[in-house]
Amino acid sequence: MGKVEPPVVNRSLSSWILASNLKLQALLLVVIVIAVFTRVFPLEMQKRIVNQAIRFGELKMLFRYCGLYFAAVVLSVGLKYLISVLQNLIGESVLADMRKDLYHHILTLPLSFFRKTQPGLVVSALVTELAIAGSFIGMAVAVPVTSVLTLLAFAGYLFWLNPLLAAISLSTYPLVLILLPRVQSRANLANKKRVDATRNLAGKIGESISGIHEIHGNGSYRIENRKYDKMVENLRKIRISWNLYKFGVKVLNNFFNNLSPFLIFIVGGYLAIKGRLDLGALVAFISAQEKLYDPWKELIEFYQVYQDATVGYSRTMEYFDAMPEHTLEPEDRNPYELRGSIEVKDLSFVAEGGIQLLDHINLDLKPGEQLALVGFSGSGKSTLAQCIGQLYSYTSGHVLLGGQEVKDLSKKDVVYNMGFVSQTPFTFEGTIRENLLYSCASLVDGDESVEGEAMPSLDDMIETLQQTGIFVDVLRFGLNTILLYDEHQELAAKVVRVREHFRRDFGEELADYVEFFDVDEYLYHSSVAANLTFGSPNKDTYITERLPENDYFLRFTDKADLTRPLLTLGADLCRQTVDILGNLPPDKVFFEQSPIKADELEGYKELAKRVARKKLHQLSSQDRTSLLRLALRFTPSVHKMVRMPSIFEELILEGRALFKEMISHDDPEAIMFYKTSEYIYSQTILDNILFGKSKTVNPQTEEKIHQSIIQVLIGEDLLETIVEIGMEFQVGSKGDRLSGGQRQKLAIARIFLKVPGVLIMDEATSALDNNSQSRIQGLLDSKWKGKSTLIAVVHRLDIIKGYDKIAVMKAGRIGEIGTYEELISKKGMLHELIYGKQAAA
């Protein structure tokens, strides 16, 4: 057997130095040795330039020594940059490994650990606190070796120049070595407090963000602000103390380093005046003594980084120094394939603080049987389900799955044989497909490329989506997708064919519900702007709100003799709207049928006064733009407070033809005009199929339109393609682009797709409407009955009649267990639950 690596939380900081790339470390040492030589070599050149070249007036010698000096400086700079590069590569690689190993460890920790750990704290540890340790590892070899070798080289060179001056120059360093650790120890204590306070602050931020709905719902901003401000103030005081000690270390170091030149000037100047030290040697000595400060400074800074890294690393690892409750994977065998029988014997569970949540539970289920757990809130239903599912490690007793003790099974054994759906399932950022396949992918270690029975087929996925009731949502996501011209031309051509068949097969039937685009007809459910442009803008300057400021469009309206009619329409809309809505509060509900928005009302009130006093041509350009904007927004079917003259419709249709002619010649890329034979890439698949505007927002009408589209998609063999596109829909952070019901259905679908031998559902349908709950329950009663053993924590008592067994829980115990008929006839706890609730209702 290979050597067993200790858990990451038990590794010392120094162990990561040896774990780094040894080849890079060896190369780094070689570069350091050469770099040290290039730092000392110029000092000797300084001495020779003064004592030999300048003293004897040798130009050739001057140029030679200066050239060597310059070459050494250039080489030193290049090598220093190379050292920094190697140092960075080593540090970042080790930091990445630290973060990976700690993250992998954290994911295996028991759920009880996360009940007392805020997400922000974990984020702070992985992202911030380990960064200092990574920086230290990067410099752990480079800085001390470079600094020590440079110090020794400079010290040796100083002693070679003058032993007395060298001894005086180095005399201050022992004092620094005595005083510095004392000040640094104080800084370390403050740093430990800083790490803890920073971690608590990060935890508080994570808690606030996670509970933002409660904060908004209760308006508890001041309460949370006080908590946060107090923690920030505490951190401020700690950081001030920590920084003062750090500054003390630097000041102390700077003082003694500036003291050395003072001594050199006195003693060296005396020796030079007395002729016991030549001038070139003194210049070289002073230069070397000044350069001696650089490696010493680097050592002091390294010492501080080492202390900070040690404190941060140790505090982080101490916090996460916990072990998984269960083995992750079985050794030297494949995961068990267990029968779905479950036996619970004398099971008890005591939580932290000595609170007994389960008390001597006994039950058994044969493979394929279904058990409903019911009872009052806090009776232990979910806790029992989670103990059976190995999410909690029970305190005493036994849970046998297929004859195997659940506590002794590896995590992989459990996930191979069980599926768990919680009351509040989590949706991961990514696509619907990724979330749907999440449970199945875990069986093959996340490798979705594995072929065969391990990963479900597209047909399996679609069937599961249909069964759980999320298929229509996924199809809608697909239909609302915008295709890309460079990637989807073939599919776009098929959608155009679907459009043609949709209009042919359902055009007459849906004529009362859809206003189909027709180049020769005015569109009453579209704005005046949309009627004029009769296409989808490719450039932002041609969207409706920007047309009144588009110089080209204004020249067109002048040429088409539309400017005055549009201004007249805008003036009528302004007057009528202000008359009707002028005295109402600026609530959006009052402005749903108005071309004026609620926040624009005050501005248009003033404009209405000016329109009443002046002729249209006397208005300012800004006022004319505002009126034109109103006219272009005007949609007859929505804004019914003003009737549009039929002659105006004829003008718009004529203008439509002129606009197309002009823009096609002057700027053909600006607008993609509606043509039944062409796909509109700036609009969704649904818009392209419909090729028109819905006349109503009635849900039943919209459903009828969707069903008609689905029939055409099936006929054209495109339904699966659109659903596949819909499965690529990005669900957002924590699935926030999905509704609660959609997230719940998706969680159920991913477990159903896995087809586990044991299915545990902990109030898994609580976020669904009654119809959706009935759909899922019907599926459990039909497809899953006898196929998988089911344990369901149930909150709706009207759906439990079909279960093989019902266990009624109270205060952590099973009060009674049996079939629905048996328990009702006993008139015990279940009878009280059902009929007591009905009486209360």
DSSP 451: -
Angle between helices 719-726 and 699-715 (to 10 degrees): 120
* CA proximity to 290, closest of 249, 266, 262, 250: 262
Token pair recorded at residue 616: 């249209």
Residue 811, phi-psi category: left (phi > 0), alpha (psi -120 to 50), beta (remainder): left
* Mean pLDDT, residues 718-728: 93
Give Rg (Cα) of the chain. 39
pLDDT at 256: 62
Query: Could you read off the pLDDT of 279-317 as tens digits, one per residue?
Result: 656 666 666 666 666 676 777 778 778 877 888 888 888
Who has greater pLDDT, 738 or 223? 738
Secondary structure of the chain: what % helix, strand, coil (to 5)? 65, 10, 25
**In this structure, what are the phi and psi dihedrals at residue 714, rounded to the nearest 5 degrees?**
-65, -45
Name the burial class of residue 725, with classes exposed (0-12), middle (13-18) and buried (19+) by CB atoms within 10 angstroms of its CB: buried
pLDDT at 169: 65
Whole-angstrom distance, CA of residue 618 vs CA of residue 614: 6
pLDDT at 400: 93
* pLDDT surpasses 60 at 267: yes
pLDDT at 1: 40
Who has greater pLDDT, 614 or 453? 614
Q: Which range among 168-182, 202-216, 703-717 has the greatest average pLDDT?
A: 703-717
Whole-angstrom distance, CA of residue 374 vs CA of residue 791: 11
Whole-angstrom distance, CA of residue 596 vs CA of residue 549: 18
Whole-angstrom distance, CA of residue 832 vs CA of residue 48: 105
* pLDDT surpasses 80 at 548: yes
Domains in the chain: ranges and CATH:
8-319 (1.20.1560.10), 524-673 (no CATH)
Query: Could you read off the pLDDT of 481-537 as tens digits, one per residue?
Result: 999 988 889 999 999 999 999 999 998 888 888 999 999 999 999 999 999 999 989
* Mean pLDDT, residues 226-241: 84
Query: Could you read off the pLDDT of 348-357 as tens digits, one per residue?
Result: 999 877 888 9
Which residues, including other chains, have CB under 8 Å from residue 725's CB and lie 6 or more apart?
477, 478, 481, 685
Which residue shows structure tokens 């005081």?
A: 237
65-74, 156-165, 379-388: segment of lowest average pLDDT: 156-165
pLDDT at 725: 94
460-474 burial by CB neighbour count: b if 16+ within 10 A, else e? ebbbbbebbbbbebb
* Mean pLDDT, residues 173-200: 74
Mean pLDDT score across all residues of the chain = 83
* pLDDT surpasses 60 at 17: yes
* Mean pLDDT, residues 246-253: 70
Who has greater pLDDT, 275 or 37? 37
CB 285 within 8 Å of CB 269 = no
Which residue shows structure tokens 């290979």?
A: 2
pLDDT at 816: 92
Whole-angstrom distance, CA of residue 317 vs CA of residue 309: 12
CB 120 within 8 Å of CB 129 = no
* pLDDT surpasses 90 at 553: yes
Sign of CA dihedral 690, 694, 697, 699: negative
Q: Which range among 65-74, 78-87, 277-286, 381-390 has the greatest average pLDDT?
A: 381-390
pLDDT band with cut points at 50, 70 and 90 for residue 275:
low
* pLDDT surpasses 80 at 39: no
